[in-house]
Amino acid sequence: MIMTKNYISYLYIFFVLFLIQACDTRLHKGPNIDKSQLINIDVKIHRYEIALANADTSNFLEDIIQIQQEFPLFLGTSKLTNEQLVPLYKYVTDTQLIAISNSVSEMYTQLDELELQLSSAFSRYHYFFPNKQIPRVYSYVSNLFFEEPIIFDDSVLIIALDVYLGEGFSAYRSLGIPNYKIRCMTDNNIAIDVMKAIYIKELALRNKQKTLVDRMIAAGKLLYYLDAMLPDVADSLKICYTSEQIDWIENNKSNVWAFLVENKMFYSADYKTQTKLMQDGPFTTGFSNNSPSRIGIWLGWQIVRKYMDTNPDITLENLIQNTDAQAIFNQSGYKP
């Protein structure tokens, strides 16, 4: 039997989605869409780190000039001289960076899976926000710049692949990055972080959030947007919980809700109180050490989902632009 390229691609997509969901099958498909209206977007990731790694250091200027046309974002468009390339030469011959680059090359021999996932996500992004530009995508080695693994600016998006080398990459712990963050630095998190970066830059409101409800709903909007962009990604990946943490919050959500009601925390304007429920960490302060962090964010997500399920005529854009968090909270009717 001769398999066509398209047939192999379909098998590949099916296998990838199976693996993604194997860890935790709980997911939310997000808003219903007319799939016939999705346009085909073919994402190609331009790999700057490979182009640099392949450059001949003994003939450096000529090799860099050859790749300049594909990577003007990094190399500019004007004529280059040897003097201008001294910092870049030091960069590509740095032993630490060479080791990091080798780890990236070993793990990411190709990016077909990520390109397919981003193609689908960008197609859905265009469906919901047709006036927004689809960015050109690059990858690079950032020297472990984990504070900003995705750089997005209107027409370009840059992925630091060295921030997604997985829990076994020892350099992360050497930098003092806590385990609960390292757990989110895997290949499965790249598309999620890409779509988050676009949301924060292009869509998120900049209105002041006074109460816990305000912050919960704002966070819930982002995660519901991820439901819409990445409907086949498990909830545990979107919020970066383990399966055990998902189990804990599902089993204890009624008790958590009752605690918040009893202590009148939903309308608290105390930032310290809010932060305990919203900040990242190994668990949520005030609850069991088995609890996940960011319980307030998870609850905000469920509130927004219930609100959208109850109000099917409201579009994703309407939801994001709605500044009345209290109304969303009340009209959702959510109560675990």
Predicted pLDDT of residue 207: 82
Unique residue bearing structure tokens 């909830």: 235
- DSSP one-letter code for 37: G
Predicted pLDDT of residue 27: 63
Token pair of 136, please?
A: 């050109």
Radius of gyration of the chain measured on its C-alpha atoms = 22
What is the CB neighbour count within 10 angstroms for residue 166? Answer: 15
Residues 6+ apart with CB under 8 A from 59: none
In the chain, which residues have pLDDT < 50?
1-23
Are the CB atoms for 138 and 111 separated by under 8 Å? Answer: no
**Can you tell me whether residue 139 is helix, strand or coil?**
strand
Predicted pLDDT of residue 2: 39
**Can you tell me whether residue 47 is helix, strand or coil?**
strand
* Residue in 252, 326, 254 with CA at minimum distance from that of residue 283: 252
The sign of the CA dihedral 317, 324, 250, 237 is positive
pTM: 0.90
DSSP states along 148-217: -SEEEETTEEEEEGGG-S-TT-THHHHTT--HHHHTT-SGGGHHHHHHHHHHHHHT-------SHHHHHH
Token pair of 246, please?
A: 């998902």
> How far is 301 from 320, CA to CA, in rounded Å?
13
Q: Please calculate the CA angle 205-207-213 and round it to the nearest 5 degrees.
A: 95
**Can you tell me whether residue 140 is helix, strand or coil?**
strand
Predicted pLDDT of residue 5: 38
> How far is 217 from 325, CA to CA, in rounded Å?
6
Are the CB atoms for 234 and 318 separated by under 8 Å? Answer: no
